[in-house]
Amino acid sequence: MRSQQPSLSYGSRQHSCHDSRGTRSLKPDPGQPTTTTRLILAVLLASTLGPYILGPLRLDHLLIYPLGIVSIVRLFPTAYYTIPVPLLFVAGLLGANVVWCLATTIAYTSLSTDMLSALDNFLQPLLTLCIAMALIQNTTQLQLNRLFTSTCYGTLAVFSFNALLAFAMSRGYLLDLAPYFVRSITETGQSVWANALSTGRYTGIFDQPLETGLGYSVALLAWAFLVFAQGRRTALLFAALPLLLLGGVLAASKTFLLGGIPLFLTTAVLLGLKRSRRALTVCAALFLALLSLLAGITFSETTIGGSYARKFLDQPIDSPMGAIAHFTSHRLAGAAVNLQLMQRVLSTAPFRGFGYAPPDVPLDNGYLEFLYRGGLISLVLYLLVHLVFCVAAWGGRLHRRPLALWSFLLLVLLLGAALGGPTLTMNRVSVPVWFMLAFSCALLSRPTALSAPRPTGHQNPKGFAMPAPTGHCRP
């Protein structure tokens, strides 16, 4: 009997089988990930809610950096043969951006400890992607399916729990937990979290409404995939839906209200109504979503609702107080500081940017962040990352149409939310986002699903096909 070595690569669990001669042997279970893999994924997703441990270091920092370095060492010899090419290309783009911005910083500015936070914003997504690729390495099709499904469930658990925290804080409880989870300070001397709280926006343990709204939006899309694409209808799933909607409305995030909700409904219609037997589930889910949204508006104590909608219509669309200004929180209208900073970069250092040097104003725009750090070169690299995922989704539309459509809608959310903040480099929330992008891209890059035999009912997870087992096996 050969013992199994624990590793970061996504291996198989062994189970007892009897061959044609009646002898007992150990063969890999084609559908079960290793305990190490499941533990790594669960801990990293849970670290999204982790506190600050030592100064500016959060729990996710202490996990992602060592695991990321180990993953790079393990991937280096065989990555070209075991990892889908789109993911390798994305990793190369992210790595090139980190090096380019670092070279700009060294050549044109003086190094300081204030730059570490900006470097972390670009380096952590790369390391998270490397960890995901290490988990993908040597996986079977069914293992990768379950890995993606587990990520969806983990994301739902994280943000459902945060919604409960946000609701408790809206009632005046658990507010003393905030200092352990928030650190960002604004020009007023308060944290972004405290400023949001003063306006009646409850984000749980996340710093800002944009970050929270993006997380709830991604969780909603994960919920829609589990229910409408895989046909999962459990009580826990339907209990999570009102929590996600309530949490998003409590945060009063435009990313959630104007991006997450419409894309969730779009996913439900495009994936759920394709089969008549799921029509009732779709209608029930949409009705529950509407009731939860109304309840959230009632409890949120914010100025959203009718007054929020009227702000888009009271002024001309291009006026300083019109719809564009309101949707972007005055980031891209009139004399917005973001527009001024963009003009400064394009006129002073259009191709190289200013590196990791701290800007004069917050970089509340994903496109502006890359433009400021590395000029037009970094901005092109940023757009190419999205393009690679779009191409992967387009290439997988034939053999995995529901997942391809879902991935495309996720990219639409990320590109739209980038108008209000750096979606791919945002603290905490970027961890589940990068896992979802990596696992879905790996699935879409494997055309072998076309030739997979139909399931026989043995070890058949909902929504996925798997080969029938051979021989007489006992789990």
Domain ranges of the chain: 29-449
pLDDT at 217 over 90: yes
pLDDT at 108: 86
- Compute the average pLDDT of residues 231-236: 86
* Vertex 367 angle, CA 366 and 369, to 5°: 65
- Compute the average pLDDT of residues 386-412: 92
What distance, in Å, lies between the first and last C-alpha atoms of the chain? 16
Q: Is 20 exposed, middle or buried (0-12, 13-18, 19+ CB in 10 A)?
A: exposed
How large a percentage of the chain has pLDDT more than 90?
38
Which range among 89-103, 123-137, 220-234 shows the weakest confidence by mean pLDDT?
Answer: 220-234
- Compute the average pLDDT of residues 210-235: 91
pLDDT at 1 over 60: no
Element of type H or E holding 264: helix 261-267
pLDDT (tens digit per residue) in 127-182: 999 999 999 988 888 889 999 999 999 999 999 999 999 999 888 888 888 888 88
Q: How far lies 135's CA from each of 148, 156, 222, in Å?
A: 11, 20, 20
Collapsed DSSP state (helix, strand, coil) of residue 33: strand
Q: CB neighbours (10 Å) of residue 108?
A: 13
432 within 8 A of 410, measured Cβ to Cβ: no
pLDDT (tens digit per residue) in 283-322: 677 777 776 776 666 555 444 444 444 555 555 555 555 5
- Which pTM was predicted? 0.82
Closest CA to 224 of 174, 275, 145, 285: 285
pLDDT at 11 over 60: no
Dist. CA 164–CA 187, nearest whole Å: 30
Closest CA to 372 of 389, 347, 392, 395: 347
Do you know the residue count of the chain? 475
Dist. CA 334–CA 194, nearest whole Å: 27
pLDDT at 306: 42
Which residues, including other chains, have CB under 8 Å from residue 421's CB and lie 6 or more apart?
208, 210, 211, 214, 364, 365, 366
Q: Which two tokens stand for residue 267?
A: 């996913």
Radius of gyration of the chain (CA): 23
Confidence band, pLDDT 50/70/90 cuts, at residue 18? very low
Closest CA to 245 of 197, 283, 298, 192: 298
Which amino acid type is present at position 222? A
pLDDT at 449: 36
How large a percentage of the chain has pLDDT more than 70?
74
Dist. CA 22–CA 18, nearest whole Å: 5
Q: Which two tokens stand for residue 440?
A: 């879905």
Dist. CA 475–CA 283, nearest whole Å: 39
- Compute the average pLDDT of residues 198-214: 87
